[in-house]
């Protein structure tokens, strides 16, 4: 059961990361990058590491995404 969960999560993360790089608009790319962070938080919890999971949740979904979205606002770019 655990092996099946880890395999499907890894597959999902790789597909979402690949889709995030080949997008044309910048806003879609940033939102799909947040999906990679979400999947990695669940994986850290399965690997019995709760401190690392908490840190990656607040920094990956909070501060890192804020930095990219503010760059989008200052750039006003679409590609």
| Binding site residues, another protein, CB under 8 A | 1-4, 6-7, 10-11, 13-14, 17-18, 20-21, 26, 29-30, 33, 36-37, 40, 43-44, 47-56, 58-60, 62-64, 66-68, 70-75, 77, 79
Distances, alpha carbon 13 to alpha carbons 16, 20, 38, 42, 43, in Å: 5, 11, 9, 11, 10
Smallest separation, CB 3 to another protein (Å): 3
Smallest separation, CB 62 to another protein (Å): 5
Which helix (H) or strand (E) is 60 found in, with range? none
């Amino acid at each position: 059961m655990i092996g099946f969960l880890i395999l499907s999560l890894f597959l999902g993360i790789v597909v979402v990361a690949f889709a995030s790089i080949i997008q044309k608009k910048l806003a879609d790319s940033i939102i799909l990058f947040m999906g990679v962070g979400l999947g990695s938080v669940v994986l850290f919890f399965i690997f019995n590491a709760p401190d690392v999971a908490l840190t990656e949740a607040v920094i990956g979904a909070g501060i890192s995404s804020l930095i990219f979205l503010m760059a989008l606002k200052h750039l006003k770019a679409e590609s």
